[in-house]
Amino acid sequence: MALRLDKYLTELGVGTRSEVKKLIRAKQITVNGEPAVRPEQKIDEQKDEVCLRGEKLSYAAFEYYLFHKPAGCVSATEDTVHRTVMDYLTDTVRSDLFPVGRLDIDTEGLLLITNDGALAHELLSPAKHVEKTYYAKVAGRVTKEDVNLFEKGVDIGEDALTKPAKLVILSEGILSEIELTITEGKFHQVKRMFEAVGKKVVYLKRLSMGPLVLPEELAPGEYRPLNAGELAALKCR
């Protein structure tokens, strides 16, 4: 695939279009060993070797990362107050990555980070009913009645009840432990569902999204590229 050199460089995060032009004029960019002379020069990212000050640049049309979001950061690409999830990804190729969906600032767990907008739309579309499973600690005794109610749908103050959700009680008591699988992504949905039955979520962690499962060995704040099997499972949904 032929790309303009300046577009190729900006997509890799080398700089803005104007900054890239300055680098080219300063002969800091080479293509196959020869100094680039024009921003509009066409290159083949699969065949041509592009270097910045002698260092080879690598191009990827799309990148996909599993990220274990820690509490305390926001699911955004930039924020003037809080650290964002993107601040943790330090060695990616692309500069146009974004988190697929959102987790509350105090919620931990799985986030997919990519620049594949079409895939993100597929995963977030309400019509696709992508399952998301959460582990939570809940203040209050979660009961079989709650399980039945969640299966039917809960009134969280919107026009319609929530879609049927699968609630599994892991332990019950003053502080209950549960797993909840939902197919929607309404604002604060898990917390609001438990508030509707008189209980409060005090800890929340997303375990899975569609075919993606948070690896046990991935610590909060860590990330890794999707492997071939995970990527194939996502794209074959």
pLDDT digits (tens, 9 = 90+) for 152-204: 999 999 999 999 999 999 999 999 999 999 999 899 999 999 999 999 999 99
Q: How many CB atoms lie within 10 A of CB 196?
A: 17
How many domains does the structure of the chain reveal?
A: 3
Tell me how far CA of residue 109 lies from CA of 90, 128, 140, 201, 209, in angstroms: 19, 21, 23, 15, 10
User: If pLDDT is split at 50, 70 and 90, which confidence band does 216 have?
Assistant: very high
Contact present, 216 and 68 (Cβ < 8 Å): no
User: If pLDDT is split at 50, 70 and 90, which confidence band does 28 have?
Assistant: very high
Exactly one of 79, 104, 116, 159 is catalytic; name it.
104
Among 203, 212, 206, smallest CA distance to 234 is for 212
What pLDDT does residue 237 have? 65
Q: What is the mean pLDDT of residues 139-157?
A: 97
Distance, in Å, from the CA atom of 208 to the CA atom of 125, rounded to the nearest integer, reads 17
Among 65, 73, 100, 79, smallest CA distance to 185 is for 100
Q: Which domain holds residue 88?
A: 64-126+212-235
- In this predicted model, what pLDDT tens digit does every residue of 65-75 receive, in sequence order? 999 999 999 99
The CATH number of residue 99's host domain is 3.30.70.580
At 23, which amino acid appears? L
27 plus 90 within the same structural domain: no
At 136, which amino acid appears? A
Q: Is 234 in a helix, a strand, or coil?
A: helix
153 plus 170 within the same structural domain: yes
Q: Which of 38, 56, 74 is the last residue of a domain?
A: 56
pTM, to two decimals:
0.80
Residue 209: beta bridge partners? Answer: 132, 212
160 plus 45 within the same structural domain: no
User: If pLDDT is split at 50, 70 and 90, which confidence band does 208 have?
Assistant: very high
Pairing label, strands 108-114, 166-171? unpaired
88: left (phi over 0), alpha (psi -120 to 50) or beta: alpha
115 plus 219 within the same structural domain: yes
Q: What is the mean pLDDT of residues 113-130?
A: 92
At 215, which amino acid appears? P
Distance, in Å, from the CA atom of 150 to the CA atom of 153, rounded to the nearest integer, reads 5
Contact present, 84 and 77 (Cβ < 8 Å): yes
- Decide if 91 is catalytic: no
Distance, in Å, from the CA atom of 105 to the CA atom of 28, rounded to the nearest integer, reads 41
75 plus 51 within the same structural domain: no
What pLDDT does residue 1 have? 67
104 plus 151 within the same structural domain: no
193 plus 223 within the same structural domain: no
112 plus 151 within the same structural domain: no
30 plus 99 within the same structural domain: no
The CATH number of residue 51's host domain is 3.10.290.10
23 plus 84 within the same structural domain: no
Phi then psi dihedrals of residue 49, to 5 deg: -100, 115
Place of tokens 């890239």: 20
Question: Mean pLDDT over all residues of the chain?
Answer: 93
Comparing 21-30, 33-42, 54-63, the range with the smallest average pLDDT is 54-63
Torsion, Cα 119 120 123 124, to 10 degrees, reads -150
12 plus 43 within the same structural domain: yes
What pLDDT does residue 60 have? 74
43 plus 70 within the same structural domain: no
The CATH number of residue 183's host domain is 3.30.70.1560
